[in-house]
Structure 1
């Protein structure tokens, strides 16, 4: 591999800060869409918010390959099995291209019926359908972005993905400015303009990621590998990690869609409040997301090197860092909730309710940190089934059930939904920590380190 990083320099900070910037910019892209649309029309904000809820489920479908790719490449590189790591990279790219094209077709054809199932108010249907068909139609591009980024970051080049995201953000904001408001002779398209801008920036981002991939691992990616024979072992290993991991994520996203269905019955104002509040909340758990991804790469390397004690301590240190930083951020956003929400809207009812939800987020974020960091550590070590079993039971038994009971039946509205989220995150998080401390994952590595090294 060319430009191979020094593994001794793959510290949590070295890996995490570019991931942090990358995810921050992804979130800023979504916030830029929301903020710019809020200056155009509140209904467009709600329509795009619900459409993105559906698209988030599609991303999970691509994520199962990306997750497996990250873990398998990290474990194999940790064990100095470079050839196996390269074969996994090629197989993952082909899988997600084919899978992405399939889901793109599904969203184009069935976009409107899916939105109807979401109980979307009729006045939002036209805008949401157009947005979902454009962004969803280019789902295969997002699939490639996730896969290429996973390969590059697993090799330690987390800065590369960050640079690409910076460029995508700049293009997206410029495109929004042109097509939402019809600036410089461009057509005034509103939410449709956001969709076009998003798709275009992702296409260019994919091209640049391919260039970076060839630059970083050229000569070690056997592109003809999948044409010589069906890569049964590589596909099996990817699915062994990816399907359970996707199951946990898919369960979360579909449960959130059901909760969104409940919120939709509360009216457009409730939907809009949720979108604005979530856009601010994202910055609170951003730290845990970045630390979780960086920890996953490090734990994967350590497992490949059979350094289980170091992997165990790494997971716990990352957890306490994530809890501390994300909780501090949540407190900060709660204190400045009114001015932050005022950036998006002047509606006093939305600002008041959103501010209360941000106060509740202070109790939510520590629980979320457990899940984002410890679950990633468990996956990296090979323990992928336990998180999905507990996740499904808690998300549907706690989050969905309490959201309906407290939010709809008892009439607490969005406050009831936030209480349900707090209960769900804390229950799952504490169970994940208990699982990590049992150290059953020590015998669950996906590679055989006794095989000949590549």
Structure 2
């Protein structure tokens, strides 16, 4: 087997379970949105209003997960298993501290959030309650995100897939039992009635919260029992040098995600000013689009792990091979999926809401964004390469400039000064994604990553 074929095979083995895992998460997001959408456009808007803020408050979790993954992957590439285990031990402390702090923060701001977002008064109660309930188990969400990063770093992408798959199945079942008043299905001529609590949007939030608790506990047990991690009292002691390395890698990613998510919050608040229907169409279309970039983010996790391994082995040719294989796969797969998004946007939107006007508006948005999906794939993979080798400052600068100067400022001008609508808002979002791809691709081709190898 030649080097290229071997790299593609390794990518498939690592990325496959992660793609499936993220696809399952997207299915749950689809189910949540569809079930809430049956309640009405107001419920969809209330849930959609909180999505970007949830991204914001959980961004430090994913960022520290990147730091943990990069350090463990590099240590394994160097065959330094003691350091890899020490990094896993520090991940426990990071998960505990961030989970407690972010949980307290989100519960504190939940009553004021809808007003800060500029939402219609009618949305305030539902949006506030939904946000508080899904953020209450933040400690378990922290476990799920950070410990999954530890497992992926040691090459185990199957366990996070299984845990998240079970968590998502639990969420769907609880949605069915808690959101509606019950439904009757006809199966082979027999009527089967499934009872429901009729809690509406609160039921959707409780289903998510319970699933997060179960998933977080399962992910911790899976990590603690992994043979390459084997957490013992020695590894659970605070190791300041290792902790500092994780934070040094993760801090720019945290800033990156916070800057991105703050931009998303402002972006969503500008959309909220266009009215409830626009907010519903915007949030549902964003949810619908998620499935079409799942392969890119699944491959990003594998790309980061393999890039970190290449850095640990001091092999720049291996990193270049990882980049070529990842870009080929991600761009190819997302181009095919974008074709489906372009051809059938109305059918996709109708999965989530019976409101004809929301479907019509959202379908136009999906057809617009489909054109940019292949370029978005390029951005995702380039970001994964830089994160895997611990070079997180470049992507941070790129995200900050693109989010705030392109997406937010251009949207402000279009909505507040020019009086344009939702199509102009999405054009600004697409311009942001295209510029990110061009920026990071140019940075990679210029050889910015080679400095990491020369310092070893």
TM-score by length of 1: 0.92
**Any conservation in 1 of the 2:7–2:322 contact (CA below 8 Å)?**
no
Match of 2:277 among 254, 269, 293: 269
Q: Which residue of 2 aligns with 1:373?
A: 381
Match of 1:293 among 289, 301, 317: 301
In structure 2, how many angstroms separate the alpha carbons of the residues matched to 1:390 and 1:8? Answer: 28
Distance 1:126 1:233 in 2: 46
Partner of 1:212: 222
Structure 2 residue 208 is matched with structure 1 residue 198: yes
| Aligned position for 1:145 | 144
The equivalent of 1:174 in structure 2 is 173
Offset of 1:52 from its aligned partner? 2.1
Q: Is the 8 A contact 1:284 1:327 kept in 2?
A: no
Do the aligned partners of 1:303 and 1:381 also contact (CA within 8 Å) in 2? yes
Note the residue ranges of structure 1 that are not aligned, 5 or more in a row. Answer: 1-6, 449-454
**What is the deviation of 1:259?**
0.8
Partner residue of 1:24? 23
RMSD of aligned alpha carbons: 2.0
Per mean C-alpha deviation after superposition, the further-off stretch among 208-217 and 36-45 is: 208-217
Structure 1 residue 307 and structure 2 residue 315: aligned? yes
1:322-380, Cα deviation, whole Å (9 max, x unpaired):
12221221221221112221222232222222111111112221232122110110121
Choose which of 327, 333, 337 in structure 1 pairs with 2:335: 327
Offset of 1:303 from its aligned partner? Answer: 1.1
C-alpha distance 434-243 of structure 1, shift in aligned 2 (>3 A): same
Q: Assess, with a 3 A threshold, how the Cα gap between structure 1 residues 207 and 443 changes in structure 2: closer, same or farther.
A: same
What is the correspondence of 1:31-430 to structure 2 with a 5 Å cutoff? 31-183=30-182, 187-217=197-227, 220-227=230-237, 230-430=238-438
Residue 222 of structure 1: CA displacement? Answer: 3.4
Q: Structure 1 stretch 110-119 or stretch 66-75: which is displaced more?
A: 110-119
Q: Which runs of 4+ in 1 moved over 6 A?
A: 7-10
Q: How far off is 1:8 after superposition? A: 9.0
8 Å CA contact 2:249–2:392 kept in 1: the answer is: yes
Give yes or no for contact 1:402–1:416 (8 Å, CA) kept in 2. no
Distance in 1, Cα, partners of 2:301 & 2:453: 18
Q: State the secondary structure of the residue aligned to 1:209.
A: helix
TM-score by length of 2: 0.92
* Structure 1 stretch displaced more, 212-221 or 91-100: 212-221
Deviation by residue 1:149-185 (Cα, 9 ceiling, x = unmatched): 1111111110111111111111111111111114466
Structure 2, unaligned stretches of length 5 or more?
Answer: 1-5, 183-193
Q: CA deviation at 1:321?
A: 2.3
Q: Per-residue deviation at 1:445?
A: 5.9
- The verdict on how the C-alpha distance between 1:340 and 1:253 changes in structure 2, with shifts beyond 3 A counting, is same
Residue 198 of structure 1: how far off its partner (Å): 0.7
1:15 paired residue number: 14
- Output the CA distance in 2 between the equivalents of 1:264 and 1:376: 32
Name 1:451's counterpart in structure 2.
none
Q: Report how far residue 83 of structure 1 moved.
A: 0.5
How far, CA to CA, are the matches of 1:447 and 1:192 in structure 2? 53
